[in-house]
Amino acid sequence: MRKERNLYGLRNHKKHCYCGLLFLLLFFMTSCKTNQFLIDSNEVEYVHFWFVGDIDTNHALENCEDVVFMQESHDTIMRDRRIIERFVSVINRSKPINPKSNYDLRVSSLVRLKPINGEKRPDIKVCIGNYGRRVLLNDVLMKGDHEELQKFIQEELYDALTPYQWLPEVIKDYLKDHPEERNNYLSDE
């Protein structure tokens, strides 16, 4: 009689508890992995960036297209594999956050993927704001590694432009008509 109690009693209850806990653990581990959208840097053909400097706006830029169509925005296309891998690795480490958080986008990018069998694949929109603290990845708000993102943006985008390229178009047009005043606007070029 004692053997039956061990087979169907307390010992069997522990097995069910351990199996249930193992199932819950596996469920939580796999659900966290599936919520994350990862970009494979080997599949990226190039990344097209649009970015604005420190200009004041009346309202926060919460739409990627706002940055693209601003007159003060600059654009560049990055095809260098080192830069693409660095950018993708920083973006892949971003974590989803509350979509109602405040953000102000200053950098928009379009990640163009390599075609498969001649068919174009959908582009991935990645927008960065709040000095790298917020990332909008295909319209999902995420929290990024702000120090590394800020360093990437500064080194690869902002530092690559000359002081003349940062001037607004109105002043560039004026300087074309008045080249003698170029030194007043650009002292270190």
DSSP the chain: -HHHHHHHSHHHHHHHHHHHHHHHHHHHHHHHHHT-----GGGEEEEEEEE--S---SS---SHHHHHT-TT-EEEEE--HHHHHHHHHHHHT-EE--TTS---EEEEEEEEEPPBTTBPPPPEEEEEEGGGTEEEETTEEEE--HHHHHHHIIIIIITTS-HHHHS-HHHHHHHHH-GGGHHHH-S--
Q: Does domain 41-172 have CATH number 2.60.40?
A: yes
For residue 122, the model assigns a pLDDT of 92
* Closest residue by Cα to residue 87 from 172, 166, 151, 168: 151
Q: Where are the domains of the chain?
A: 2-34, 41-172
For residue 30, the model assigns a pLDDT of 57
For residue 46, the model assigns a pLDDT of 94
Digits of tens for pLDDT over the chain (189 positions)? 455 555 555 556 677 777 777 777 666 665 554 446 789 999 999 999 998 876 777 778 888 888 888 877 888 899 999 999 999 999 999 999 888 888 888 899 999 999 999 899 999 999 998 878 889 888 889 988 889 988 988 888 888 877 777 777 777 788 888 888 877 766 554
- Does this model's pTM top 0.85? My answer is no
